[in-house]
Amino acid sequence: MSASTSASAGTEPTEVDAVVVGAGFAGMYALHRLRADGLRVRVIEAADGVGGVWYWNRYPGARCDVESVDYSYSFSEELQQEWDWSEKYATQPEILRYANHVADRFDLRRDITFGTRVTDIVLDEQALRWEVRTGSGDVVSTRFVVLAVGPLSNANIPDIAGLDSFEGGVFHTAHWPHEGVDFTGKRVGVIGTGSSGIQTIPCIAEQAAQLHVFQRSANYSVPAGNVPLSDADRAAQKANYAERRRLSFLSGGGSPHEAHPKSALEASEEELREAYERRWQLGGVLFSKTFPDQVLSTEANDTARIFWEEKVRAVIDDPAVAELLIPKDHAIGTKRICTDANYFQTYNRDNVNLVNLKATPIESIDATGVQTTGERYELDALVLATGFDAMTGSMDKLNIVGRGGQTLKQAWAAGPQTYLGLSVAGFPNLFNMTGPGSVSVLANMVLHSELHVNWVADAIAHLDAHGAAALEARPDAVADWVQECTDRAAATLMPTANSWYVGANIPGRPRVFMPFVGGFGVYGQIIADVAAAGYKGFDVI
Ligand code: N01
């Protein structure tokens, strides 16, 4: 039995059964589940509150692109029934309210240390325990470590000469001031046109006197199709929750979806148009899954691209601007498709100017503006919507030292090496949530977190039932899994884009497609089968 006495409120144990790093959706549920299983758990969180990315990403327009009914915990029927989502796609403030509600409702805060960053996680090979150190000087000894640091939590600050010298405000979308920013009457520059930029640009354009959007790569975006939920909508959702969750756990991306029952290449022109139109009207990211083979071949992908281009050109007044906003360098859906509310229409406004960095790259930034090779832009504020050092960036910042003194960073020098995304050879009892080697960012992260946490909790129960100390991935199982992930990705168009899925946005990162593309339901079955087979591929020590 792993359990020992529970820490009393307000005191911080130095000996626990599990340390969880991060109090986002995965970390909060890990605390709830492991504590319910009788473990002493300590969560360590850098922020001053729960919510993970939803604590930090407070930029105007921030909203989830997974439906709120799905992007919420399924572990408690009472929670599902009592919480009322106000919109189809929840805003960041509403998601953060939900996270806080969960923390209160399940009394999570007493076991979370806020405002504290984990710095080192070091294995004691003899004792098979981990020593976790923090920036505040705390040292915690633990048997298990659950890394719930989030695949999109380490902001990417672009390396642009003179950025530090800018005297107006500089705001990264992932570190937005809690008090908000008033752009009224200001000349604003936004660098970056990914999901964050595309969500915030229309909002900033409404406030700013002048907005210059600095675009390096054009991106595919589809209307989000957000609508308020009525009492009747909520009642229908709640009445059907059990079935909805069942379908979600079997689905490709963690929310119910049925693709058109035919290949895009077998469908007639009329059928293609009808199917795309239906999906377009519904809105949201599932447009990129309208047909089952949409990211499997260029020919199939082109059917979606052509439809998309027609739709987008139709709403942009200036054909030259439209041309710049149409991606030419990747297939639709091979980078995370963005969702928006009037993004392309924003370029019809008189106060919005698109700067094409492909033609005229930024040379430098100084106290008062941005200098490109073509022109100078005087600015009062600069927004960096430049994304994240995704998937591995947050773990790289931790000094994680496993067997033989090897760091995780060293073990992953050629790209992440995991077994099932959950475990790394040489790092016993250290589990990674929703990171590389799992479906990760290709799925609804809340249900994915539950899937992972439940698997880890069951594995711990298995160890205890067998009087074993630790679970450790075998090197051959890791090699096979990495190969399987690579092969599955290579059978699609996904690795062909210069996306953050392959680390292409961060100079020096090895080019490896990091998420498992086989689908959430398939992945769930694989990890369940491994457990049922007595943790095949693991050493049970
Ligand atoms: O980041 P991104 P994001 N000079 O990496 C540009 C999730 N998310 O924060 O493509 C000039 O997608 C970069 O250009 P390029 C979602 O999974 C979800 O927007 O590298 N430009 C790109 O345009 C998403 O995919 C939601 O050429 C530079 C942009 O910055 C993920 O988070 C909302 C540059 C970065 O785009 C990341 O999205 C928000 C430079 N030096 C985020 N460096 C929803 O749920 C970078 N760029 C809706």
Task: Give the model confidence (pLDDT) of 385-443 as tens digits.
Answer: 999 999 999 999 999 999 999 999 999 999 999 999 999 999 999 999 999 999 999 99
Mean pLDDT for the stretch of residues 487-491: 98
Pick the residue whose CA is nearest to atom 3 on ligand 1: 387
Model confidence at 10, pLDDT cuts 50, 70, 90, reads very low
CA atoms of 305 and 285, how far apart (whole Å): 14
Which atom of ligand 1 is nearest to 193's Cα? 23
Task: Mark residue 456 as left, alpha or beta (left: phi above 0; alpha: psi -120 to 50; beta: remaining).
Answer: alpha
pLDDT tens for each residue of 513-523: 999 999 999 99
What letter represents residue 142's amino acid? T
Nearest to 203 by CA among 66, 64, 346: 346
Which atom of ligand 1 is nearest to 57's Cα? 39
Report the Cα 281 to chain-centroid distance in Å: 25
CA atoms of 70 and 244, how far apart (whole Å): 8
pLDDT tens for each residue of 239-288: 999 999 999 999 999 999 999 999 999 999 999 999 999 999 999 999 99
Mean pLDDT for the stretch of residues 15-35: 98
Distance 506 CA to ligand 1 centre (A): 11
Averaged confidence pLDDT in the chain: 96
505 lines ligand 1 (CB under 6 A): yes
CA atoms of 128 and 112, how far apart (whole Å): 24
Distance 287 CA to ligand 1 centre (A): 19
429 lines ligand 1 (CB under 6 A): no
Model confidence at 1, pLDDT cuts 50, 70, 90, reads very low
C-beta of residue 416 within 8 angstroms of C-beta of residue 437: yes
**pLDDT for 435:** 98
Pick the residue whose CA is nearest to atom 7 on ligand 1: 195
pLDDT at 213 exceeding the cut of 70? yes
499 lines ligand 1 (CB under 6 A): no
pLDDT at 289 exceeding the cut of 60? yes
Ligand 1 pocket, mutate which of 216, 356, 441, 500 (most atoms under 8 A from CB): 216
The answer for residues whose C-beta is within 8 angstroms of residue 436's C-beta and 6 or more apart is 151, 391, 392, 415, 416, 418, 421, 514, 515
Pick the residue whose CA is nearest to atom 13 on ligand 1: 192
Distance 93 CA to ligand 1 centre (A): 21
Model confidence at 6, pLDDT cuts 50, 70, 90, reads very low
Helix axes 269-282, 298-315, angle to 10 degrees: 60
The answer for residues whose C-beta is within 8 angstroms of residue 375's C-beta and 6 or more apart is 355, 360
Pick the residue whose CA is nearest to atom 37 on ligand 1: 387
Residue with token string 């509600």: 101
Pick the residue whose CA is nearest to atom 6 on ligand 1: 192
Ligand 1 pocket, mutate which of 172, 386, 388, 511 (most atoms under 8 A from CB): 386
Number of H helices, E strands in the chain: 16, 20
Report the Cα 374 to chain-centroid distance in Å: 35
Helix axes 241-250, 231-239, angle to 10 degrees: 70
Which atom of ligand 1 is nearest to 198's Cα? 19
385 lines ligand 1 (CB under 6 A): yes
Distance 334 CA to ligand 1 centre (A): 14
Per DSSP, which regions of 135-235 are E strands? 139-147, 169-172, 187-191, 210-215, 221-223
DSSP string, 243-270: HHHHHHHHSSSSS-----SS-TTTS-HH
Structure tokens at 123: 């294995």
194 lines ligand 1 (CB under 6 A): yes
Which atom of ligand 1 is nearest to 387's Cα? 1
65 lines ligand 1 (CB under 6 A): yes
From the number of C-beta atoms within 10 Å of its C-beta (0-12, 13-18, 19+), residue 228 rates as exposed
**pLDDT for 11:** 43
What ipTM does the predicted assembly reach?
A: 0.99
Distance 335 CA to ligand 1 centre (A): 10
The proportion of the chain whose per-residue pLDDT surpasses 90, expressed as a percent, equals: 97
CA atoms of 78 and 90, how far apart (whole Å): 20
147 lines ligand 1 (CB under 6 A): no
Distance 441 CA to ligand 1 centre (A): 14
Residue with token string 């209160």: 104
**pLDDT for 3:** 37
Residue with token string 């297939």: 331
Model confidence at 460, pLDDT cuts 50, 70, 90, reads very high
**pLDDT for 471:** 98
**Global pTM value:** 0.96
